Amino acid sequence: MRYSQLLIPTLKEAPSDAEVISHKLMVRAGMIRQLASGIYSILPLGLRVLRKVEQIIREEMNAIGGQEVFLPSIQPAELWQESGRWDFYGKELLRIIDRHDRKFCYGPTHEEVITDIVRREVRSYRQLPLVLYQIQTKFRDEVRPRFGVMRGREFTMKDAYSFHADEQDVQKTYEDMKTAYNNVFKRCGLDFKMVEADSGTIGGSFSHEFMVLASSGEDAVVFCDACGYASNLEKAAARPPANGAGTDGTETLAEVSTPGQKTIEAVTAFLKVPPQKLVKTLILENEKGLVAGLVRGDRQLNPIKLKNLIDCEWLHPASEELIKEKTGLPVGYVGPVNLPIPVYADHEVAAMQDFVTGANKPDAHFTGVQFGRDLKVEQVGDLRTVEEGDACPHCDGGTYQIRRGIEVGHIFILGTKYSTAMKAGFLDENGKEKTLVMGCYGIGVGRTAAAAIEQNHDDKGIIWPAPLAPFQVVVLPTNYSDEKVKEAADTAYRRLTELGVEVLLDDRADRLGVKFKDAELIGFPLQLVIGPKNLEQGEVELKTRRTGDSANHPFPAILEKIPALLSDL
């Protein structure tokens, strides 16, 4: 392609609302333009990058037996009502009413649609396993869309769904997907980790996320520095106390006055005790009512862990008004002694003795609290958020490290969550009706491209991994109106194209400095600079964007070597 024929509207300045570098650089490099909040038009260079990500994904999905489909983005409410997600999903689901007053939604995901197809078309175990995937535009009405295409409301995603006769079979496909996802992100040139994860609103029993490591990442990635265990922060397991559930201490329960002392910091200072001697009582709400979670005073309660321990549909912090309405207790002084709602405790709390809690009355706390004697607890489990430096529970001697990450892929074993709700079954070899077992596997196409920029940039612009670059080589004639320079540039363009190299010829009449800045900003892996002085010596300059290294090479002989050079980038 010739630069003069392409729409590449580069900018000197980033938009004021752009927060992360990928958003800034994709706008400045003329790859995207915002249409509305969280909704972007993808321009030619941006689309070339996304198509490359899609093709890598497509090849890896096909390699493990996936079959590509294309499903409607507008979905009838009846399917979502059948699965139970119409009311559960919340405001992120964009709901639509057509001219006949029928309810639809703009799909953020396609579990219901694909399950409906399979329950209609698959009846025998002989048709299993089945892996179907699509690359589609989706919509999630984020409350605060940000970060450009990394967290927009409208986005492109690869979602795959697998259907199986039993759990053993779905595990095999799950392992195939792990391999395929690792291949995808390696081929994209990304530094990433596969981590254990919670299944979230998709549901299911088992899942992993694929996290691109970047300081701008929204998620925390926890990994052991010894054994390699990795998880997102929501899922990361904490090592139980060595002494397990301890015996009660010797202190008696006593109520002490703590006027105006509501926070951990205030209470510890007032009572002159460390936060490790306090127990925090946090009140949350689920579909069944209020529950309490207990953690040590210096720890943070992990709501995802508590939700999974309780096995409830949803779990949110309860408002102060709701707590007062349902219990009559004063917020800031709530404690687990005689608390009239179900109580769940972190295993560190179960090992504590002689600790401090709220006394369930204003301006008062209990001291000398004993876990066994004074508390009625429904269940004890791992309920706290881990911290950097914590001991790894999966090995001896390892400690947790925490880095920021960008989620680009997520795989789930759904089990029978959707197939049971939607009555999707098959006949086994004995002619008996069985319920299909499902898996679900997603990759964010735009997020993958944006994550590549977050990992690969400098103060001049993007440094694309070669497999994702919109063009692999840019030919930069210093003066395209010079006949010899033009002839050499055209020769380079034609020959590189014949060699299968994706090449952009910058044939603009702009100053060379402008061309260089645009080439650096857009991030082409190789720059072939052709000028009259070097041509007199029979040479051209070849510059590598990532390292900044440049050297003169014989022309046109260097053209034959460029495909091999690109394979090493």
Please write the tens of the pLDDT for every residue from 30-60: 999 999 999 999 999 999 999 999 999 999 9
User: Strand 103-106's sheet: what is its strand order?
Assistant: 74-76, 103-106, 94-97
CA angle 71, 72, 77 (to 5 degrees): 120
pTM: 0.88
DSSP SS3 for 159: strand
Q: How far apart are CA 424 and CA 119, in angstroms?
A: 5
Please write the tens of the pLDDT for every residue from 282-334: 999 999 999 999 999 999 999 999 999 999 989 999 999 999 999 999 999 99
CB 468 within 8 A of CB 49: yes
Q: Residue 220 carries which DSSP code?
A: E
Q: How far apart are CA 61 and CA 132, in angstroms?
A: 9
DSSP SS3 for 464: coil
Nearest alpha carbon to residue 157 among 101, 73, 229: 73
Name residue 68's beta-bridge partners: 133
CB 20 within 8 A of CB 216: yes
For the chain, the average pLDDT equals 95
Residue ranges of E strands in 10-69: 32-36, 39-42, 67-68
Helix%, strand%, coil% for the chain, nearest 5: 30, 30, 40
The CB-side HSE value for 133 (13 A sphere, CA atoms) comes to 25
With pLDDT > 70 as the criterion, what percentage of the chain qualifies?
98
Type of residue found at 36: A
Instruction: Return the structure tokens found at 473.
Output: 């080589």
Query: Exposure of 77 by Cβ count < 10 A (0-12 exposed, 13-18 middle, 19+ buried)?
Result: middle
Please write the tens of the pLDDT for every residue from 95-138: 999 999 999 999 999 999 999 999 999 999 999 999 999 999 99
Cβ atoms within 10 Å of 498's Cβ, excluding its own: 9
Q: Residue 427 carries which DSSP code?
A: E
Task: Report the range of poorest mean pLDDT among 102-116, 206-220, 445-459.
Answer: 206-220
| pLDDT attached to residue 302 | 96
- 253-265 burial code (b ≥16 CB/10 A, e <16): eeeeebeebeeee
Instruction: Return the structure tokens found at 130.
Output: 């089945």
CB 488 within 8 A of CB 554: no
| pLDDT attached to residue 245 | 65
Please write the tens of the pLDDT for every residue from 469-517: 999 999 999 999 999 999 999 999 999 999 999 999 999 999 999 999 9
Q: 445-455 and 21-28 are packed helices; what angle lies between their axes, rounded to 10 degrees?
A: 100
Q: Which residues contact 328 (CB under 8 A, 6 or more apart)?
A: none
Residue 76 in this model has a pLDDT that exceeds 60:
yes
- Rounded to a whole number of angstroms, the distance between the first and last alpha carbons of the chain is 22
CB 362 within 8 A of CB 330: yes
- C-alpha distance from residue 168 to each of 4, 165, 337, 413 (Å): 56, 8, 45, 11
| pLDDT attached to residue 213 | 93
Q: How far apart are CA 346 and CA 369, in angstroms?
A: 16
Please write the tens of the pLDDT for every residue from 229-270: 999 998 899 999 987 666 788 899 999 999 999 999 999 999
Give just the sign of the alpha carbon dihedral 26, 27, 32, 38: positive
Task: Report the range of poorest mean pLDDT among 64-68, 206-210, 496-500.
Answer: 206-210
| pLDDT attached to residue 46 | 98
